[in-house]
Amino acid sequence: MDEGKNDLINGARMRMQKIKLTINGKLYELILGYEVQPWHTLAFTLREKLGLTGTKIGCDRGECGACTVLMDGRPILSCLTLTVECDGKNIETIEGLLNSKTGKLHPIQEAFIESGAFQCGFCTPGMIMSAKALLQRNPNPTLEEIREAMSGNLCRCTGYIPIFNAIMKAAEKMRGMT
Amino acid sequence: MSFKIIKSEKAEQKYKEWKVLGKPIPCVNSYLKVTGKAAFTDDIIRPNMLYGKILRSPFAHAKIVKIDASEAEALPGVSSVITYKDVETMGVSQKPPAYILTDRVFYVGDVVAAVAAEDEAIAEEALDLIKVEYEPLPFWLTPEEASSAQPMHPEVTKDNIVVGMWPPYYRSVGDIKEGFKGSDIIVDVEFRKPNIKHMFLENFTAVAEWRGDELHVWSHPQVGAVSFAMMLASIFNVPTNKVHVYQCFIGGGFGGKMGDAPLRVAALAAMLAKKSGRPVKIRTNIREHFVEGAVLDPGISTFKYKIGADKLGNLKAIDATVWAGQGERSINLGIVYCGDTIFNTYRIPNRSFKAYPYYTNTPMSQALRAYGSQAGVPPLEEAVNEIAEKLGMDPVDFIIKNGLRDGDIVTQYLHNDFQLAGGSLPELVQKAAEIFNWKEKWKGWSVPTEISGSKRRGIGLAVATHTAWGVPQPDRVKDTVIIKVNVNDGTVEWVTDGRDIGSGFDTVVSQVIAEVLGIDIKDIIHAPPQSVGQPIGGWTFASKALQSTVFAAYNAANNLKRNIITAAASILNVDPNRLVLDLKGTRIYVAGDPTRYVKLSKIGEIYGGILIGIGSCPSHYEGPESYMDPVTGRRLGMKGMFCSFAEVEVDIETGKIDVIKLMVATQPGMILNPLMVYGQLIGSAVHGMGCMLWEGIIYDEKTGTPLNASFIEYPIPTALDVTEDQFVCVTIVDPDDAKLTPYRAKGIAEGIFAAMWHSIHMAVYNAIGRKIREFPLRPEKILRALGKAPFPQTKGVV
Amino acid sequence: MKRFEHFNAKTIDEAILLLEKYDGEAKVIAGGTDLIRVLKDDILPKYPKAIINLKTIANLEYIKEENGVLKIGSLTRLSDVASSSLIKTKYNLLSEACRSVGTPQIRNMGTIGGNLCQDVQCWYYRASKSLGKVFHCLRKGGNVCYAVSGDNRFHSIFGGKGCVAVCPSDVAIALTALDALVKTKGPLGERVFPVSELYKDAALNLGRSEIVTEIQVPEPPPEARQIWIKFRLRNSLDFAIVSVAVMLTLEEGVCKDVRIALGGVAPTPKRLKEVEDFLKGNYINSETAEKAGKMAVAKAFPLSHNAYKIPITESLVKRVILMAKDHRTLT
């Protein structure tokens, strides 16, 4: 594990390499070998290095979906993603959902509250990110499409049905806004 | 909407009187939870914090002969390593059979050592460098093996019978010999259950930091912060007031965070923090959660139930025995509730329940969405079903004839019996059967309701009763709530040392306070629970919040209101009954004459600048006279009444079961918050469906290793496994069903879980005509029962 | 997860060079949905010294048709394969198989090449260090397969040379029925071979520094009917207990051509050649379908816990053939 031992290989590695991430519209530059290590996952970097603890680490094995964030608009598992491989990527996390001007909740967040779509709340940030990606690409989803889109986010409290209701309601709210 | 609320006239009237209660008010900490700002334990990041990792045992039972951590300690980036050898030098006191670290390991995954390092990766590498020499000991997973094994904890017991807080070994009522003599039909049923797991999403996590001799711990215990601090104080031999426990949000518990795992992880973090002189965080992953976390009490069990009835279908006697593998420790309360189902589901004059809870080489057993009723119901219902089938009786009629009802005597394990005040299984089942359209669908025992190709449909039902107002503990934890009013703006804060685990406990308590004080729920907050400076008692378990915490809050709010009004009355010199408390307007005024008022700040001055109300919950054994029935003179008590109806479709070629319909029904008394009640009912129903169809720990019998330690191989339901039209939740709402609580409400979440399992089980039997006396009902079990695949030779762990 | 060096490869050749240099102690990463789990659970006999990222290689993410052959770059993500309208229209079997993998997030990350090259799911092999117990099995250089004498409910019913784990890739099963080819590149250059030859004895049949670069699928006749069934407990997240892929061409009710592949039952994708020969030239009806189901499992020899897979396989093969005949899809 000697640092720099392999620097010569085709210039694949350079000292002071920076990982540039756009997170919720803000650019972060993290120095490799200092703020980010090759083995750090995106979930770890977001939470422990950048303080964006809204993204949760559940199983830490890509099974439960609690760590879901959007990368270039698609839901991905931040616990299975290496930060070094995110250079130049656009990341959205739960922290980016509040309206930055008004501080108001996103319609999906409102709908989750109104529908009782969470209990313990641990899966909720990941759920909401999956729901956001769905409604972005499909503003008028059927129940089937909602179930499919949420099938990578486990919840042990709610039995999912209040979550489906919330997403239906959120879709309605968002359609009303445009 | 799959939530039906059927209200009596009395209920309608009560709802009209309420301003805040009865309304679908969203969870009070909603904003925090949907924005990711709710601080769970893992969200705590302390300056200069280290990361801890745990080395776990490869043996189900072994003695550590030699342990050498020197290489691990020498790895650059490692701050400290702890093994059992540190226990003595650090003055950590432990009591068998609950160790933090010792020279023995009791199950695969038991803690051997822990490392704190600058980076998680370094800590993991260090684990590889710890050299451990084990002397493997014989291990056992089943109660059958335990009964003839060497004692696991010879310090406390010689026969492997668990020394629990509740010794449940034997209880009887009447004379079973006479009962069976008077029976025309007697059946014997043997039933088995595997270990099942909570599978909440937040794994055990703790952050610990020493500030001089003060220990600061962030954790997620389901016990209250004060109780947790007391436990840590005794482990580290420090004064309790020097242990600051910050009870963070809890990412799912279902009983699994009451056990020792959260405490142990916190203690390990605290030991590492002490040795390193820096804060330490330990976050475990799903694999560690799986091996370390509790399983349902009773654990791997065999039930043998003998039951007798006369020709008319009146139950006469039951002789029930349970052999349970309880893990390396247990408090046995699940077994108690398992026995409770024998005594308090049907009217059976002669009853006997024997339990043999054994130490086994698995983690401890604990509540899982309920204490043991959910495990006790299926074998009881299997036995009762067989009687009904032999008599050719419709199961609905059978329950109507034999079910527990209002006025019956409820027999409890360790405490006095009481007379049931409200709630009735026959009435509940009759109403629910109508909604389910049972009579039209029922075609008889073991007769499919529909056949289409390889698909067979069947229907089933089950009933359960469960504690609905807390554990009967006259001498133990009592809830206390303190309410504070800010005199400048009339806003309200309340504290107890408990944390909502998602069931809506803090929301409903806030509603109660708002109702009494006449304010908007937005003007109330539940102060984050922490051990120092807060009262004890807000444990969130055993369906007790609705009784104990609500009662405490009700008393606290009324005490507060009375104090304010009394003081105001003396200032204004009017009859206190004429005064109106207007907290929002920060004043107290005379009804009908708002110009005559006194400011809240004035009252504050009288009480030394602060307005607080304290209330606690009376134990129902020490309760007021209203707890006595005036006619019979008997002490009154409550039970939750639950039933579940299921329709399933079984593919007899593949063994796959689809739940077509699952209808759960209960008599909750009044519903204080329909959003929360619906959430609990539907959540329990889906969780229970998973338990019945798929879940269960699969062990490698040769090594005692749990093999399916993942969300992939321990299959909890996903979003694609449920649809809204599958589930119906029914509540029959009447204040008379819950006479003994201030707002006529009782706990519902746990009992519904107990009832629903067997409804699926019975439906599968009626669909395929084969009795499968175990669960989960995975395809392999169905195909084996149908004779399409051979049974494997196993010790019967699953 | 323990430490490692990390390289972003710019070209396939660079990745191969790095693999060669690390001489078996480096791993390539694409979507990472399997590899990161493997690393976190620390199950490899030797933890890799280096991880080589392939996602930085240009031009390996594409879906195109050339001269009647569908070509998919190995870095193409499963969700893109599943949602491609070209693939949905002409190669629906592949689309459905991709859609049945894991969860939406896993499909957004996981690549088609990675799905083919994932490690087996055997729970003895996968027992994590986090559990305490690690099984030093045949795959790790040990001399015992713990599944054979343990709980093997998810293992092979068609034997195996030593290891009895089943091929975990859904995509491989679908591609086998589609008669697809795999293109790879290694130190010795490129080669193209049938997807069925990618596996041998529950392992990848690739050179140590060989990387899958492309999948090639011949265009099925337009009248061919394609069906995918994945039997599992839950409708998401689960691996297949049994899966069946079929491609059937009928002419006036008579089977003109058919290819059937089974997953979840053998260490490699299992092509049912005998069943295919029987069906060809026969009328497809419930009788022939039933016979096909029986033939499919005639040579099965189950382990102690997995005989239940036999009736499931038998039934699914029958159903798949009838569904293909009736143009039904799974509901």
Burial of A29 (C-beta count, 10 Å sphere; 0-12/13-18/19+)? exposed
Contacts of B536 (CB under 8 A, 6+ apart): B224, B226, B227, B477, B480, B497
Domain shared by B286 and B411, yes or no? no
Return the pLDDT at C329. Answer: 55
Instruction: Let me know if residue A2 belongs to a domain.
Output: no
Which of B590, B618, B646 lies at the terminal end of a domain, its last residue?
B618
Domain shared by A34 and A81, yes or no? yes
Domain shared by A54 and A111, yes or no? no
Domain shared by B599 and B638, yes or no? no
How many domains does chain A fold into? Answer: 2
Instruction: Let me know if residue B15 belongs to a domain.
Output: no
- Closest alpha carbon to B668 in B741, B583, B777: B741
Contacts of B128 (CB under 8 A, 6+ apart): none
- Tell me if chain B has a CB within 8 Å of the CB of A72: no
Cα(A76)–Cα(B369) distance, rounded to whole angstroms?
31
Q: Could you tell me the residue range of the domain that residue B209 belongs to?
A: 41-139+199-293
The crossing angle, in degrees rounded to 10, of helices B395-402 and B425-436 is 160
Mean pLDDT lowest for which of A12-26, B472-486, B620-634?
A: B620-634
Confidence of residue A8 (pLDDT cuts 50, 70, 90): very low
Domain shared by A114 and A82, yes or no? no
Return the pLDDT at B649. Answer: 98
- Tell me if chain B has a CB within 8 Å of the CB of A79: no
Residue B629: alpha-carbon gap to chain centroid: 30
Domain shared by B781 and B661, yes or no? yes
Q: Could you tell me the residue range of the domain that residue A43 belongs to?
A: 9-95
What are phi and psi for residue A139, nearest 5 degrees? -70, -10
- Strand A68-71 to A89-92 pairing: antiparallel
Confidence of residue A9 (pLDDT cuts 50, 70, 90): very low
User: Are C80 and C109 within 8 A, CB to CB?
Assistant: no
Question: Tokens 């310090």 belong to which residue?
Answer: B155
Domain shared by B86 and B216, yes or no? yes
| Out of B290, B653, B711, closest to residue C315 by CB | B653
Residue B622 has pLDDT above 80, yes or no: no
- Tell me if chain A has a CB within 8 Å of the CB of C46: no
Domain shared by A85 and A125, yes or no? no
Residue percentage of chain B with pLDDT more than 70? 96
Domain shared by B483 and B411, yes or no? no
User: Are B375 and B338 within 8 A, CB to CB?
Assistant: yes
Task: With beta carbons under 8 A apart, name residues in chain C contacting B779.
Answer: 233, 241, 308, 312
Domain shared by A63 and A120, yes or no? no
Question: Tokens 């949602």 belong to which residue?
Answer: C83
Instruction: Let me know if residue A1 belongs to a domain.
Output: no
Question: A152 and C235 in contact by Cβ < 8 A?
Answer: no
Instruction: Give pLDDT tens digits for B124-153.
Output: 999 999 999 999 999 999 999 999 999 999
Instruction: Let me know if residue B528 belongs to a domain.
Output: yes
Question: Tokens 């001489």 belong to which residue?
Answer: C23
- CATH number of the domain enclosing B432: 3.30.365.10
What is the sign of the dihedral through the CA atoms of C59, C61, C62 and C67?
Answer: positive
Instruction: Let me know if residue A100 belongs to a domain.
Output: no
* Mutation to test the B interface, candidates C6, C129, C131, most B Cβ within 10 Å: C131
Domain shared by A40 and A115, yes or no? no
Instruction: Let me know if residue A4 belongs to a domain.
Output: no
Domain shared by B730 and B601, yes or no? no
Domain shared by A66 and A122, yes or no? no
Please, which chains are in contact with B (at least 3 CB pairs closer than 8 A)?
A, C
| Out of C8, C18, C105, closest to residue A77 by CB | C105
Torsion (CA) B365, B371, B373, B374 in degrees, nearest 10 = -70
Instruction: Give pLDDT tens digits for B270-326.
Output: 999 999 999 999 999 999 999 999 999 999 999 999 999 999 999 999 999 999 999
User: Are C233 and C312 within 8 A, CB to CB?
Assistant: no
Cα(B392)–Cα(B338) distance, rounded to whole angstroms?
28
Domain shared by A69 and A134, yes or no? no
Question: C36 and A1 in contact by Cβ < 8 A?
Answer: no
Question: B792 and C305 in contact by Cβ < 8 A?
Answer: yes
Q: How far is B421 from chain A (nearest CA, A)?
A: 30
Domain shared by B605 and B747, yes or no? no
Helices (H), B241-357: 260-276, 286-292, 333-344
Instruction: Let me know if residue A102 belongs to a domain.
Output: no
Which of B275, B293, B311 lies at the terminal end of a domain, its last residue?
B293
Q: What is the mean pLDDT of residues B537-554?
A: 75
Question: C235 and B288 in contact by Cβ < 8 A?
Answer: no
Instruction: Let me know if residue A3 belongs to a domain.
Output: no
Domain shared by A14 and A38, yes or no? yes
Domain shared by A19 and A91, yes or no? yes
Domain shared by A158 and A123, yes or no? yes
Residue C321 has pLDDT above 90, yes or no: yes
Which C residues in the span 47-106 are in contact with B, Cβ-Cβ below 8 Å?
Answer: 103
Residue A156 has pLDDT above 60, yes or no: yes
Which of B265, B293, B321 lies at the terminal end of a domain, its last residue?
B293
Instruction: Let me know if residue B348 belongs to a domain.
Output: no
Contacts of B434 (CB under 8 A, 6+ apart): none
Return the pLDDT at A13. Answer: 47
First to last CA, chain B: 37
Task: With beta carbons under 8 A apart, name residues in chain A contacting B679.
Answer: 116, 119, 157-158, 162
Domain shared by B594 and B660, yes or no? no
Domain shared by B220 and B81, yes or no? yes
- Look at residue B344 and give its three-state secondary structure: helix
Q: What is the mean pLDDT of residues C204-230?
A: 96
Return the pLDDT at A46. Answer: 98
Q: What rounded mean pLDDT belongs to chain B?
A: 93
- CATH number of the domain enclosing A17: 3.10.20.30
How many domains does chain B fold into? Answer: 3
Instruction: Let me know if residue A118 belongs to a domain.
Output: yes
Residue B382 has pLDDT above 80, yes or no: yes
Residue B175 has pLDDT above 80, yes or no: yes
- Tell me if chain A has a CB within 8 Å of the CB of B36: yes
Q: How far is B789 from chain C (nearest CA, A)?
A: 5
Return the pLDDT at B258. Answer: 86
- CATH number of the domain enclosing B72: 3.90.1170.50
Strand runs labelled E in chain C: 5-8, 26-29, 50-53, 63-66, 69-73, 181-186, 189-194, 199-200, 203-204, 211-218, 225-231, 242-251, 254-263, 270-271
| Out of A64, A114, A119, closest to residue B679 by CB | A119
- Closest alpha carbon to B359 in B154, B93, B192: B154
Extract the tokens encoding B38: 């709710």
Instruction: Let me know if residue B103 belongs to a domain.
Output: yes
| Vertex B318: Cα angle to B317 and B322 (nearest 5) | 170
- Tell me if chain B has a CB within 8 Å of the CB of A163: yes
Question: C105 and A85 in contact by Cβ < 8 A?
Answer: no
Consecutive H or E run containing B510:
helix B505-517
Confidence of residue B540 (pLDDT cuts 50, 70, 90): low
Q: What is the mean pLDDT of residues B733-749?
A: 88
Contacts of A26 (CB under 8 A, 6+ apart): none
Confidence of residue B497 (pLDDT cuts 50, 70, 90): confident
Instruction: Let me know if residue B443 belongs to a domain.
Output: yes
Helix, strand, coil share (%) of chain A residues, nearest 5: 40, 15, 45
User: Are C128 and B709 within 8 A, CB to CB?
Assistant: yes
Instruction: Let me know if residue A123 belongs to a domain.
Output: yes
The crossing angle, in degrees rounded to 10, of helices B749-768 and B373-391 is 40
Instruction: Let me know if residue B683 belongs to a domain.
Output: yes
Residue B525 has pLDDT above 50, yes or no: yes
Domain shared by B657 and B756, yes or no? yes
- Tell me if chain C has a CB within 8 Å of the CB of A76: yes
Confidence of residue B797 (pLDDT cuts 50, 70, 90): low
- Tell me if chain C has a CB within 8 Å of the CB of A37: yes
Residue C330 has pLDDT above 60, yes or no: no
Instruction: Let me know if residue B186 belongs to a domain.
Output: no
| Out of A1, A12, A62, closest to residue C106 by CB | A62
Cα(B636)–Cα(B469) distance, rounded to whole angstroms?
12
Confidence of residue B416 (pLDDT cuts 50, 70, 90): confident
Mean pLDDT lowest for which of A47-56, B59-68, B531-540, C149-158?
A: B531-540
Domain shared by B407 and B465, yes or no? yes
Please, which chains are in contact with A (at least 3 CB pairs closer than 8 A)?
B, C
CA distances from B260 to B26, B69, B238, B255, C104 (A): 32, 26, 19, 11, 36
Domain shared by A58 and A136, yes or no? no
Residue C284 has pLDDT above 60, yes or no: yes
- CATH number of the domain enclosing A159: 1.10.150.120
Return the pLDDT at A15. Answer: 58
**Right CATH for C225-326 from 3.40.50.300, 3.50.50.60, 3.40.50.150, 3.30.390.50:** 3.30.390.50
Domain shared by B401 and B462, yes or no? yes
| Vertex C174: Cα angle to C168 and C175 (nearest 5) | 100
Residue B39 has pLDDT above 90, yes or no: yes
Q: What is the mean pLDDT of residues B371-380?
A: 93
Q: What is the mean pLDDT of residues B71-78?
A: 98
- Tell me if chain C has a CB within 8 Å of the CB of A13: yes
